[in-house]
Amino acid sequence: MLYNIDVFKVIDSIFSLICDMLLTKLYIPQTGENIIHRSGLFEKLDEGLKRKLILVSATAGYGKTTLISDWVNKSKIPTAWFSIDERDNDPNEFLSFIIYGIQKTQANIGKNSLELLNSPGTAGLDYILELFINDLLQAGHHLLLVLDDFHLVQNKQIHDLVSFLIDYKPKHFHIVISTRSDPPLPFARLRSQNELTEIRSSDLNFSKNDINELFNKKLRLSLNNKDIDLLESKTEGWIAGLRLTALTFQGQNDISAYIEQIAGDNRYIMDYLMEEILNIQNDEMRQFLLCTSILEKMSGSLCDSILGKDNSQLFLESLEKSNMFIIPLDNERKWFRYHHLFSDLLLQRLVIRYKKKIPELHNKASLWFENNKLPLFAIEHSIKAGNSQKAMNLIGGIIEQLWETSQYATILKFGSLFTEEDIIAHKHFCVIYSWALTVYGKLEIAENYLFKILGQTKDKNLLGKIYETLNLLKVFSGDVESAFKYSELATQNISEDDILWNSWANISHGESHLLRFELGECIQSLQRARENVSKINNLYLNLVSESKTAYALRLEGRYNEAYKICKDLLEPFYADTTVERFRIGILSSILYSLIGFIQVEQNNVEEGIRNAQKGYELSQKATSISFKGYSALLYAEAYYKSGDYYKALQVIEDLESILNKKVAQWLYVLAYSLKSKLYILTGNLDKLDFLFKQKISSDKNHAFETYFYNVSIARYKLEQRRYEEVFELLQKLSIGLENDHANELLTEVELLKAKAFYRRNKQNDAIKSVLKAIRLTQNEALIRTYINEGEEIEAILKKIKKEKDTKSTELLNSINNGYLQDLLEAFLKERKTQKIISEKLLSDRELDTLKLIAKNLSNQEVANELYISITTVKTHVRNILLKLEAKNRNEAVVKAKEKGIL
């Protein structure tokens, strides 16, 4: 969804979770005093810097994080560290954290990428990732990225993102993944290419020498060789088991005997050792350990809140000094977390001993996060406490901002935590949750929710939002009639004071009128949206309402007004210096595309193609199908207008691969309409069968597609010389389009009528049709519309010029002499240009060969006519195909005719 800069700042503060909370995820864990430096593994890690990926994979408790952290401190490579948790499964947020981490080492890397990531729905993730990699290429030194606890990533998009980053990263950028289990990354391929360094459990296990160093040199416990052997045998070098064992030695008179009594596998040993550790703590510390195990991250203040204490910071510092599996998350020792394995074991014992107390602890944690402006954490703890009412109330405070900033993944995550009854009971959340479901294609579920609350809702503004969401859903499902009904109801119910929702309601209503080809009503609805948007600082929403208005004006034939809207709208984008600049740069694609198309139509071909191409290239970086699709369509239309039909066809065929008729129906219709023209102009009539397979309703709700498909059918029948059918169809279209003030399409229809009349030798009727077209286009200075229709229209224009020179009638006098002359000169210039191109393009012998090919002569027959060998003919044919960019002889002939060569 769309938003202004103030709302963006609000949601960004929520996303970053306040600066210090954000930094805890990016903090490089400290190693502690009793660290065993693993020099052999350091060498392996150093060697891994020469490869694309270092993988450290082992189950919990093998010292993965400690090893990497110690190596980072030793190697002195600038490092971005990302400690992943279960929340980190949104691709945009995941890449954002990576970039935030990199920026701690080099501030300028990923600046534009981060801007786009903080503007959901703007640019595609692939493009943003490429932009980030380009920034990495500019870095002048080695950089290391550590992705810790990568097993918590469950999102395929993130796996794909990381795979792409591994494949295309620069050599000076190194990646380390630490995980409990191997993720679905291309390890087999990396191994085969010798691009993977792996460190596994067997590498991480402590040897007897390591165990001796830990217990005797670091902890000074004076164990004998037999004790060391027993520890190695019982724990198999498992580091977590060894360190927990060390903690339980406190108060043991006979350590050797104690070691001998430890038995079982690692899981049993852990349970045994945890009980021993808790037993040797005093009551206050034991309570502290168990109750704080519900927290993913801890600060003194947060622990004080849930325990009713005022000295928790001292407990945290004491635990760190005692090496009690607690990890500091910042240099100030403000935030900590337990080792994941230690936390899991504590939580198990909390459930056993104080199960009834757990909801109270979560409620207190929720209150602390709420008071400290961290609503996402507050919501999670409320849900864990079973307090769905409070959680929903908290969500209510931020749901509108989440909607405005397209945080649909977060909305869906919250929705999944509640029962259907909870969601229906909170109607405002239900509406926005249904919107997110619709965007993600879960239409049946969304519709079920919306209809369940529709009859229960008395609040008029909320009712309007339900209707607007239903409109979106019906647009997605292709139900034009229902979409129109709900868009009308939305505009009637949403309060004018609710500017964003009201603006969207009017935009939707305008689009519904467009599909009914009610252009005047469409423009009026869009005008109301434009007036609303002018009250707030929202460039994005302004762009949407203005560009849709420009398109409707174009359909009315008001090209100059459409051009002015686009030109004027580009100015604030150029002047904008806020964080939105780069995002808006991509979304301004639609303006460049429309400007370029109009310029080509007015015969400023070179500049027009440049602008249309710029718009097209910008749009490919966006996520919106509408922006991508319409910019591609305008680009194809610009090439069509310029006479490059094969290039236009290539663009339109690429466009079809991204279009979905149910999601972008009007674009789908326009693409098929242009495609049919191009097939006719390139001699591919056999590919037009799809026109007659379309089942189009003739009611008002399908007027848009009815008009465009029928114009295409008229063109097809004209080429088949089915003139009576053509006259009948075009006359009906002419009357309807005139009533709907659709002058752009009406001009095309009148020129088609003129061509049909001309071919049937009805010269006066042909002249009348062209005169009608000229009156529609002369104030807009449209040129290429006439040139594209070919030499028959030029012949009629010459007759009009002759009559105008000798006669005086009201109709002839209404025609601007200068415009008529411009049209004729444009035809003359077109012929000269094509002649120059053809003369430069083909040699004399190639031209002779082409002329004979046009007569359907075989290679041998061409050789006989020109008295050359068949090998030479084949060479000429190959050169002709290459120069004309044709796939075969027939296509070469068609292209040659287009260019005026034949």
What's the pLDDT tens digit per position in 694-745? 666 666 667 888 888 899 889 989 988 999 999 999 999 999 999 999 999 9
Residues 6+ apart with CB under 8 A from 523: 510, 549, 552, 553, 556
pLDDT the model gives residue 604: 94
Of residues 237, 197, 192, 190, the one with CA closest to residue 215: 237
- Residue 13: pLDDT band with limits 50, 70, 90: very low
Tell me the C-alpha distance between 128 and 91, whole Å.
11
* Of 165-174, 461-470, 642-651, the least confident: 642-651
Residue 103 has pLDDT above 50, yes or no: yes
Predicted confidence (pLDDT) per residue in 844-862, tens digit: 788 889 889 888 888 899 8
Q: How many CB atoms lie within 10 A of CB 74?
A: 14
pLDDT the model gives residue 7: 39
Mean pLDDT of 413-431: 90
- The DSSP-derived string for 491-549 is HHHS-TTSHHHHHHHHHHHHHHHHHTT-HHHHHHHHHHHHHHHTTS--HHHHHHHHHHH
- Provide the percentage of residues in the chain whose pLDDT is more than 70: 90
pLDDT the model gives residue 773: 96
Distances (CA, A) of 516 to 163, 484, 512: 46, 9, 7
| Most confident by average pLDDT, 237-241, 340-344, 760-764, 861-865 | 760-764
Mean pLDDT of 89-118: 87
pLDDT the model gives residue 278: 80
And the tokens for 525?
């609805």
In degrees rounded to 5, what are phi and psi of residue 146?
-110, 125
Strand, coil or helix: what is 80?
strand
Residue 580 has pLDDT above 60, yes or no: no
Tell me what the pLDDT averaged over the chain comes to.
85
From its phi and psi, is residue 58 left (phi > 0), alpha (psi between -120 and 50) or beta? Answer: beta
Burial of 91 (0-12, 13-18, 19+ CB in 10 A): buried
- Residue 3: pLDDT band with limits 50, 70, 90: very low
pLDDT the model gives residue 33: 77
Tell me the C-alpha distance between 56 and 64, whole Å.
7
* Of 67-76, 587-596, 815-824, the least confident: 587-596
- Residue 222: pLDDT band with limits 50, 70, 90: confident
Per-residue buried b or exposed e for 343-367, using 16+ beta carbons within 10 Å of the residue's own CB = bebbeebbeeeeeeebeebbbbbbb
pLDDT the model gives residue 769: 95
* Of 161-165, 484-488, 605-609, 698-702, the least confident: 698-702
| Most confident by average pLDDT, 6-10, 632-636, 644-648 | 632-636
pLDDT the model gives residue 413: 82
Residue 879 has pLDDT above 90, yes or no: no
pLDDT the model gives residue 59: 83
pLDDT the model gives residue 526: 94
- Residue 138: pLDDT band with limits 50, 70, 90: confident
Residue 11 has pLDDT above 70, yes or no: no
Predicted confidence (pLDDT) per residue in 652-703, tens digit: 887 776 665 555 666 777 888 888 888 888 777 777 776 566 666 666 667 8
| CA 414 to chain centroid | 21
Predicted confidence (pLDDT) per residue in 809-844, tens digit: 888 889 999 999 999 999 988 877 666 555 566 777
- Residue 519: pLDDT band with limits 50, 70, 90: very high
This prediction has a pTM of: 0.70
Q: How many CB atoms lie within 10 A of CB 695?
A: 4
- The C-alpha angle 694, 695, 696, rounded to 5 degrees, equals 105
